Amino acid sequence: MNQQELIKKISHKFQLADRNPSGMSASGSLSGEKIFSKHSPINGERLADIEVANKDAYNKLIEEAQQAYVIWSAMPAPQRGEIIRQIGEAFREDKEDLGALISIETGKLLQEGLGEAQEIIDICDFAVGLSRQLYGLTMHSERPDHRMYEQYHPLGVIGIISAFNFPAAVWSWNAIIAAVCGNVSIWKPSEKAPLSAIACQYIVSKVLKKNNLPSGIFTLYHGGAEQGSWLAEDERIALVSATGSVAMGKKVNQVVAGRLGKVLLELGGNNAIIVTENANIEMAVRAIIFGAVGTAGQRCTTTRRLIVHETIYNAIVEKLKHLYGQLVVGNPLEKGVLVGPLIDNSAVELYEQRIKIALAEGAVLLAGGKRLKPVGLDGGTYVMPTLLEAQPSLPSLQEETFAPILYVSKYSGSVDVAIQLNNNVRQGLSSAIFTNDMQQMERFLSNRGSDCGIANVNIGTSGAEIGGAFGGEKETGGGRESGSDSWKAYMRRQTNTINYGATLPLAQGIKFDL
């Protein structure tokens, strides 16, 4: 099935042509003016015209969300878990079509699009179990005949701002976990990936309607930076979860902090793999390739820096140069293709600009470095995965470019030298070390090791599972999403003390006799 046939099938499946893309609530038209068109990065084909919600539309969605919160938060958590279970089943039924839509819209490999759809299913499964595990804590009181405990309550309306590179999965990390905790959400997806969002909204809306639940539990509107700022400024939004650039995150954080709201930030990553003299070279090279070119280098966990011990440096570089020359760049819907397009022409321009700057700074081009025009895909936005040799002090190593550019640097001495290079950037999302030496492994994972939120041994920087909390430190924002106890970010903690006695003793032995 070619792309046009796929689009027609998917459009019918999710009623993309029949639904108002600016507001997916039951209240009718919520749109403003048509101000942007979505094109596929695969071949430049126009997929849809997207209407941007105006402020009245936004306010109407918030009102619906607030009304839905009253109903949803009153449901026992296991009952909410049952609705989430049904949502997971609905995504299972539509996995193939949603995965294909993600691929067409973002240029991801079809396997990656399907993997993203699977992530939503997995997070739903996780949330179902979580619905019976929203545990508090009990503790002993210093006062006789008193009991103390802590419990968690939902926050209210959660605002979600997501990026184009994971246009569906990151929404689910937030919206599904927040929902099982009793919250409702309003979502402003990236204007570069609106259709995947509409499809997700369509899937959850079917489940809500089937269960006679208000559509305001999950809401959606479209727009750019201005529309995203509404969430940051709005005191009715208890928590803003924002995924994207460091610059965007700093603005969101500043505005939300100004009203003493809560933020959950997942921002830039400038991730490194260390390869020590004790590494399994073949395994390391496989991880490096996937980490550096997967999703065409447009993951926040993409491997952007490679730090290799001098004794194996030449062997690693030669293997990488050979494999970079064999990478198939092209239509991500076709088998055998390993690298799809960048999201749009502006991403290609940034790729070209960053390479030019790095070369001017003294980097050496080892592979790639050019824009491509695969046969039959003239309107696409393709580039060659690029390998640059760089001194650790190269200024470009401090910058995150959302493109398949990998800087390889040499180190000598102990693993501590490599760890210092790993940490010597402003971002702190993901990191990895390849070594068969236990002391080097443990050093990397110790408090004197990697300063990133994710630190892996003998696997790459990319491809996190949903069971572990995802997020990073420093300019990455400090947020945690998905697994572990990240559900607590969407809750307010309350300490309770119950006096079941007949007297009123005070804490710390204070006497206050009337």
Active-site residue, from 181, 200, 300, 452: 300
CB atoms near residue 123 (< 10 Å)? 29
Asked if residues 330 and 374 have their Cβ atoms less than 8 Å apart, the reply is: yes
Asked if residues 247 and 164 have their Cβ atoms less than 8 Å apart, the reply is: no
- Among the listed residues 488, 491, 455, 489, the one whose alpha carbon sits nearest the alpha carbon of residue 472: 455
Classify strands 237-243 and 469-470 as parallel, antiparallel or unpaired: unpaired
408 phi/psi in degrees, rounded to 5 = -110, 130
CB-based contacts of 452: which residues, under 8 Å, 6+ apart? 271, 422, 428, 429, 430, 431, 472, 473, 476
| Residue 514: both structure tokens together | 């009337």
The vertex-507 CA angle with 505 and 511, nearest 5°, equals 60
Query: Annotated catalytic, 452?
Result: no
Helices 3-14 and 194-210 pack at an angle, to 10 degrees, of: 30
Classify strands 454-457 and 430-434 as parallel, antiparallel or unpaired: parallel
Q: How far apart are CA 439 and CA 426, in angstroms?
A: 27
Asked if residues 184 and 68 have their Cβ atoms less than 8 Å apart, the reply is: yes
* Range list of H helices, 447-512: none
Residue 29 burial by Cβ neighbours in a 10 Å radius (0-12, 13-18, 19+): exposed
- Among the listed residues 385, 436, 384, the one whose alpha carbon sits nearest the alpha carbon of residue 408: 385
| Residue 295: both structure tokens together | 């999703």
Query: Annotated catalytic, 266?
Result: yes
Q: What DSSP assignment string belongs to 292-309?
A: HHGGGG-STT-EEEEEEE
Q: Provide the terminal-to-terminal Cα distance of the chain, rounded to the nearest Å.
A: 85
Strand partners, 39: 46
* Locus of tokens 């069971």: 467
Left (φ > 0), alpha (ψ -120 to 50) or beta: where does 167 sit?
alpha
Active-site residue, from 112, 119, 266, 481: 266
Residues annotated as part of the active site: 266, 300
